[in-house]
């Protein structure tokens, strides 16, 4: 058993390490731009922060969620030995995400009135609205990047993604300093560099794909990219809803804290805690990506026991890391709040919230892994409903009652958030525990027989995703072969 555990851990860390590193690098691009904008003026910092958090952040979540549908489809196709389908799936996702981006440009065009509507000052809304218009190229970079990243991830080509992200981060930092501070281009320089950095990532990844390093998976552009889009749209939307419901849950925490007494102190303290939570969750997100690849590959290869074992190892590893991070935070509790704020009141509130933050980190170290299982198995639609029930029908109302009616303030709101997250984690655990993995794999094999076609031929006629959208929405398993996964 120990030998198998070490072997599975090696596979998971091979995927999780670079995935974690890539996420941190890409997450840092906007943060670095905000940091340099803070050297210009308070208004410039607020402009970049509001656009990056509310406009770009909202669109980022939607497109990342929609792109996550490929974790199911590409992962299972690769595990089944149907590598030629990966390129077609990626192209279909490009079509859907770029079409969605055209719709989302409405948010960028009307950013100023939208920001005023949600309570931002006229000065910040006007400035952020102009900045948002110039950041539209970044939106379409998202649409190209996420499907390409999932395409590479399904083949375990995560190291090249990490290298590209590292180069982009170094260049972004260098050019941000050069054009924003040294050449004093101001926010115009921020626009040029941030758009350029995201498109550098896209073009570098595409260059790798087109160079022939993905033989079998990329066979050129195909008209099939425009066929059977409805099934893809359904799975993409359910993936987006699943992810966005989780992200917006934490945004709601800060939003409602703004209506408490001493709102500024509450929001500042919660922002510090949420930022810390975000950085620690990056580790779990790496395991989210890793376990979704492992589960989809093993199910695609008709190896249900291996898929189940991968889930156990990933969850245990991520939880142990979460516990270590929680203990470190509690140990540094008297000192670390002063690093983020000079206000004694904010420091005290962060100090008081640290035990809740540590417990949330421990819980959240498991939740992304279970979400990765859901993505790998194609349960996005079901998990979206779970998120609605646990977060918005239970956790958020409970937090508002505790925070406002029972006068527990920030702690009350956080109690509600943690309760919703805990229930959601337990539900996902029960779903995973009760899953009949043999049945899941056999259903995929039955679908191969139903759709027909030789197992090893690359010219297998693709079946109608639209006609089978209900099956894909519920299970999302691809044709099975006896070929073993390369991972």
Our CA angle for 77, 79, 85, nearest 5°, is: 25
Answer with the one of 168, 194, 227 that is the final residue of a domain.
227
Do residues 370 and 429 touch, judged by C-beta distance below 8 A? yes
Q: What is the value of pTM for the model shown?
A: 0.73
In-domain check, residue 91: yes
What pLDDT is stored for residue 91 in this prediction? 93
What pLDDT is stored for residue 254 in this prediction? 63
Do 272 and 389 lie in one domain? The reply is: yes
Residue range 389-407, pLDDT digits in tens:
988 899 889 988 998 888 8
Residue range 295-317, pLDDT digits in tens:
777 776 777 788 778 878 888 88
Do 145 and 256 lie in one domain? The reply is: no
DSSP single-letter state for residue 223 = G
DSSP single-letter state for residue 225 = G
Do 60 and 195 lie in one domain? The reply is: yes
- The average pLDDT across 107-113 equals 94
Between 287 and 168, the more confident residue is 168
In-domain check, residue 10: no
Three-class SS state of 78? helix
In-domain check, residue 251: yes
Q: Measure CA 215 to chain center.
A: 27
Do residues 319 and 284 touch, judged by C-beta distance below 8 A? no
What pLDDT is stored for residue 159 in this prediction? 92
CB atoms within 10 A of CB 181: 14
Cβ-in-10-Å burial (0-12, 13-18, 19+) of 406 comes to: exposed
Q: Is the pLDDT assigned to residue 98 strictly greater than 80?
A: yes
Sequence-distant (≥ 6) Cβ neighbours of residue 121 within 8 angstroms: none
In-domain check, residue 8: no
CA distance 367 to 283: 12
Q: Which two tokens stand for residue 67?
A: 């792109």
The torsion of the CA quartet 165, 169, 175, 176, rounded to 10 degrees, works out to: 130
Do 257 and 208 lie in one domain? The reply is: no
Do residues 438 and 307 touch, judged by C-beta distance below 8 A? no
In-domain check, residue 100: yes
Half-sphere exposure of residue 374: CA atoms within 13 angstroms, side-chain side:
30
Between 117 and 482, the more confident residue is 117
| Structural domain harbouring 174 | 16-227
In-domain check, residue 9: no
Residue range 323-365, pLDDT digits in tens:
998 999 899 888 888 876 677 887 888 898 899 889 888 887 8
H runs (alpha helix) in 258-303: 263-300
What pLDDT is stored for residue 267 in this prediction? 66
Residue 291: name the closest of 3, 6, 7, 12 by CA.
12
Q: At what angle do helices 2-37 and 263-300 cross, to 10 degrees?
A: 140
Do 223 and 278 lie in one domain? The reply is: no
Do 271 and 122 lie in one domain? The reply is: no
- Report which listed range, 2-6, 196-200, 227-231, 279-283, is most confident: 196-200
Question: Model confidence at 173, in pLDDT bands (50, 70, 90)?
Answer: very high
DSSP single-letter state for residue 183 = S
Answer with the one of 195, 227, 259 that is the final residue of a domain.
227
DSSP single-letter state for residue 477 = P
Query: How many domains in the chain?
Result: 2
Do 248 and 217 lie in one domain? The reply is: no
Burial 386-395 (b: 16+ CB within 10 A, else e): bbeebbeebb
- Report which listed range, 236-250, 403-417, 429-443, is most confident: 403-417
Do 278 and 386 lie in one domain? The reply is: yes
CA distance 352 to 230: 49
Between 317 and 228, the more confident residue is 317
Do 196 and 271 lie in one domain? The reply is: no
Answer with the one of 196, 227, 258 that is the final residue of a domain.
227
Do 39 and 169 lie in one domain? The reply is: yes
In-domain check, residue 2: no
- The average pLDDT across 33-45 equals 79
Do 356 and 308 lie in one domain? The reply is: yes
Least confident stretch, 195-204, 370-379, 424-433, 455-464: 455-464
Do 427 and 315 lie in one domain? The reply is: yes
Do residues 338 and 347 touch, judged by C-beta distance below 8 A? yes
CA distance 80 to 243: 26
Least confident stretch, 91-105, 192-206, 434-448: 434-448
């Amino acid at each position: 058993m120990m030998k198998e555990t070490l072997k599975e851990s090696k596979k998971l860390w091979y995927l999780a390490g670079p995935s974690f590193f890539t996420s941190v690098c890409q997450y840092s691009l906007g943060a670095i731009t905000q940091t340099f904008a803070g050297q210009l003026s308070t208004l410039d910092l607020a402009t970049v922060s509001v656009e990056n958090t509310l406009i770009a952040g909202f669109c980022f979540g939607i497109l990342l969620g929609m792109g996550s549908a490929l974790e199911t489809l590409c992962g299972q196709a690769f595990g089944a030995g149907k590598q030629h389908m990966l390129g077609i799936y990626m192209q279909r996702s490009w079509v859907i995400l770029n079409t969605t981006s055209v719709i989302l440009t409405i948010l960028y065009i009307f950013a100023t009135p939208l920001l005023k509507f949600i309570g931002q000052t006229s000065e910040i809304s006007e400035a952020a609205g102009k900045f948002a218009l110039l950041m539209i190229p970044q939106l379409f970079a998202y649409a190209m990047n996420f499907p390409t990243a999932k395409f590479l991830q399904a083949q375990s080509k995560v190291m090249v993604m990490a290298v590209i992200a590292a180069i982009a981060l170094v260049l972004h930092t260098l050019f941000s300093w050069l054009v924003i501070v040294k050449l004093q281009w101001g926010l115009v320089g921020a626009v040029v560099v941030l758009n350029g950095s995201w498109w550098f990532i896209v073009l570098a990844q595409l260059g790798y794909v087109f160079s022939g390093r993905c033989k079998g998976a990329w066979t050129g552009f195909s008209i099939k990219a425009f066929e059977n889009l409805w099934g893809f749209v359904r799975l993409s939307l359910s993936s987006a809803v699943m992810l966005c419901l989780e992200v917006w849950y934490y945004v709601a925490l800060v939003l409602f804290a703004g209506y408490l007494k001493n709102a500024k102190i509450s929001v500042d303290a919660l922002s510090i805690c949420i930022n810390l939570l975000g950085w620690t969750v990056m580790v779990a997100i790496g395991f989210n990506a890793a376990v979704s690849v492992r589960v989809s590959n093993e199910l695609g290869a008709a190896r249900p026991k291996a898929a189940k074992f991968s889930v156990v190892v990933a969850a245990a590893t991520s939880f142990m890391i979460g516990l270590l991070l929680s203990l470190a935070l509690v140990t540094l509790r008297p000192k670390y709040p002063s690093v983020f704020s000079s206000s004694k009141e904010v420091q005290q509130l962060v100090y008081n919230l640290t035990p809740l933050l540590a417990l949330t980190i421990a819980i959240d170290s498991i939740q992304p892994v279970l979400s990765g299982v859901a993505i790998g198995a194609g349960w996005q639609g079901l998990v979206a409903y779970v998120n609605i029930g646990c977060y918005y029908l239970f956790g958020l109302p409970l937090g508002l009652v505790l925070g406002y009616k029972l006068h527990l303030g920030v702690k009350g709101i956080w109690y509600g958030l943690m309760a919703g997250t805990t229930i959601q984690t337990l539900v996902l655990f029960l779903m995973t525990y009760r899953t009949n993995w043999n049945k899941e794999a056999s259903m995929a094999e039955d679908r191969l027989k139903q759709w027909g076609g030789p197992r090893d031929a690359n010219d297998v006629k693709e079946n109608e995703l639209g006609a089978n959208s209900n099956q894909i929405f519920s299970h999302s398993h691809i044709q099975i072969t006896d070929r073993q996964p390369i991972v």
